[in-house]
Amino acid sequence: MAEASVVVTVTDVMPLAGKGAIVHGTLAVDASSDEYAAGGLDLGKTEFGAKSPATPGTPLQLFAKGIAGYVYEWDRANEHLLIRESAGSNTVLSEIATSAIPSGVSGDTISFIALFAKLSSD
């Protein structure tokens, strides 16, 4: 199976007086036939690419939240989106298994807010 990918859709950009931008949008994870990779799915400058002039590279910070009960955590150092779930009551959240993406993740409505620095070419 192929590694699942994350599709970024930018819906709003709020410029920060020449110092960068706050970007809002949605994330979509590939269908459940693709696999989750240990350490998370790629989510960095390649995935943000040219979605908006405000998103040319990697965000300084990113917060993501879904509605299906999974917890999404962004790892800036590795540019990965980690997906966590509960292993049971009174236990810490663990990363989902390295296997097919659960349908609850691929069908989740995931919104994000990200902070981007000012473009160096400006």
Question: Is residue 3 a contact partner of residue 29, using CB atoms and an 8 Å limit?
Answer: no
Q: What pLDDT was estimated at residue 57? A: 79
Q: Residue 120 has what pLDDT?
A: 47
Question: In this predicted structure, what is the pLDDT of residue 46?
Answer: 84
Does residue 44 sit within a domain?
yes
Q: Is residue 53 part of a domain?
A: yes
Helix (H) or strand (E) holding 64: strand 61-65
Q: Which residue type does 42 have?
A: D
Give the predicted TM-score (pTM) of the model. 0.87
Domain membership flag for residue 28: yes
**Residue 95 falls inside a structural domain:** yes
Domain count for the chain, please give it: 1
Q: Mean pLDDT per segment of 10 residues, for the chain of length 122 residues?
A: 89 87 94 88 85 75 96 96 90 92 94 83 46
Residue 122 lies inside a defined structural domain of this protein: no
Provide CB contacts within 8 A for 72, sequence distance 6+.
Answer: 27, 64, 65, 66, 81, 82, 83, 84, 110
- Does any domain span residue 45? yes
The answer to whether residue 104 sits within a structural domain is: yes
Q: Has residue 58 been placed in a domain?
A: yes
110 lies in which domain range? 6-117
In whole angstroms, what is the distance from residue 71 CA to residue 82 CA?
A: 8
